[in-house]
């Protein structure tokens, strides 16, 4: 089965992906930070049985403790789990569909972190899928819910809808022109946050940013989705215009072609250089400079992350070995026509 990120999404030239995340907790248990090993195990079993008890649910169940560090970090690189979920794995579990579009972390910060990913800008579709799975869980488990506040969560910033909707944006031109900082401060006033691809504190490697709603209390899910969607469309339009303008500059156009030339020929590629160059090639592809499927570039960005390469090779590779494998992997995929 193809992974979700292989598909071409709406507004896909700028919007890599959409993610909806619900935080849920069970009424009868303390929050995970106050739970012992036995309590966590009970919750893992409860959630697993609620989802998979009726036969083929489409979910696989992974006891996080059974994974190697590379396998765990690879899941985080693919945004299927949070980086925090990789470090402490005792008493934690992951439910995952085969196409990796739906993942449920059990006993992360909250008892349940349900997440749905879709290619491109697809907030309502992702929400509908999350909502359906949430209804199944709700019918079998007793959620911690307050009529006045909404869903109760360990961290007060998630109280209410307990929904975090986010889009992953590729903004090379707004980054190159320095406009991104102005945009970040504007969207902040509109209740949104822009940060690096791997969340709080992470840098925007390859000019990939994550924009998400900050407000969960006193707002409906639909209002939050509509707000995020409208602002995403505006930023995408700005990015497109900035890309077109940038590529009319011969020196910038040259950079894009050189990036393709290096990626198609290098024998060693560090992760940082790969992200820098693939970002330029992705921009060229988005604006029609190259005749190449964007989805293949998106897939490459996922597959060429360090732990994902390690996991694919079943061992912890030396950085120099990984640089050679990355360069080979990139050459095999990129047959850009220009």
Contact residues for its own copies, defined by CB under 8 A: 250-251, 253-254, 257-258, 260-268, 320, 324, 327, 338
Output 211 or 289, the one with its CB closest to its own copies: 289
For the record, the structure tokens of 324 come out as 């050679």
Distances, alpha carbon 169 to alpha carbons 36, 77, 121, in Å: 39, 16, 10
CB of residue 293 to its own copies, shortest distance in Å:
19
Give the number of other Cβ atoms within 10 Å of residue 110's Cβ.
25
| Gap between the Cα atoms of 148 and 117, Å rounded | 29
Which helix H or strand E contains 115, and what residues bound it? Answer: strand 112-119
Output 241 or 338, the one with its CB closest to its own copies: 338
Distances, alpha carbon 147 to alpha carbons 27, 142, 237, in Å: 13, 14, 40
Output 258 or 315, the one with its CB closest to its own copies: 258
Of 232, 235, 304, 239, nearest in space to 272 by CA: 304
Number of alpha carbons in the 13 Å side-chain half-sphere of residue 102: 21
Angle, in degrees to the nearest 10, between helices 271-286 and 250-265: 120
CB of residue 254 to its own copies, shortest distance in Å:
4
Output 9 or 284, the one with its CB closest to its own copies: 284
Output 121 or 266, the one with its CB closest to its own copies: 266
CB of residue 268 to its own copies, shortest distance in Å:
4
CB of residue 273 to its own copies, shortest distance in Å:
11
CB of residue 244 to its own copies, shortest distance in Å:
17
Output 112 or 280, the one with its CB closest to its own copies: 280
CB of residue 284 to its own copies, shortest distance in Å:
11
| Gap between the Cα atoms of 169 and 183, Å rounded | 13
| Gap between the Cα atoms of 312 and 170, Å rounded | 26
């Amino acid at each position: 089965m193809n992974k979700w990120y292989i598909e071409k999404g709406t507004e896909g030239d700028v919007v890599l992906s959409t993610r909806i995340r619900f935080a849920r907790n069970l009424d009868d248990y303390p929050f995970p930070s106050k739970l012992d090993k036995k309590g966590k195990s009970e919750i893992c079993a409860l959630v697993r049985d609620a989802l998979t008890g009726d036969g083929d649910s489409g979910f696989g169940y992974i006891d996080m403790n059974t994974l190697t560090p590379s396998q765990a970090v690879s899941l985080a690189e693919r945004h299927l789990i949070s980086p925090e979920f990789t470090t402490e794995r005792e008493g934690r579990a992951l439910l995952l569909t085969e196409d990796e579009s739906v993942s449920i972390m059990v006993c992360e910060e909250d008892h349940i972190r349900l997440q749905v990913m879709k290619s491109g800008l697809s907030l309502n579709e992702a929400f509908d899928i999350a909502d359906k799975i949430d209804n199944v869980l709700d019918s079998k488990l007793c959620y911690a819910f307050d009529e006045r506040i909404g869903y109760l969560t360990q961290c007060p910033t998630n109280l209410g809808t307990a929904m975090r909707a986010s889009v992953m944006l590729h903004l090379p031109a707004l980054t190159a022109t320095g406009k991104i900082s102005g945009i970040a401060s504007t969207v902040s006033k509109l209740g949104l946050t822009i940060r690096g691809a791997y969340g709080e504190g992470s840098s925007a490697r390859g000019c990939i940013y994550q924009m998400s709603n900050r407000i969960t209390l006193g707002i409906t899910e639909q209002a939050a989705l509509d707000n995020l969607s409208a602002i995403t469309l505006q930023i995408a339009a700005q990015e497109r215009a900035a890309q077109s303008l940038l590529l009319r500059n011969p020196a910038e156009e040259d950079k894009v072609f050189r990036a393709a030339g290096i990626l198609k020929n290098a024998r060693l590629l560090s992760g940082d250089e790969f992200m820098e160059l693939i970002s330029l090639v992705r921009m060229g592809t988005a604006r029609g400079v190259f005749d190449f499927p964007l989805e293949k570039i998106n897939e490459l960005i996922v597959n060429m992350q360090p732990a994902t390469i390690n996991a694919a090779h079943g061992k912890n590779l030396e950085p120099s070995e990984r640089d050679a494998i990355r360069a080979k992997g990139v050459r095999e995929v990129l047959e850009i026509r220009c």
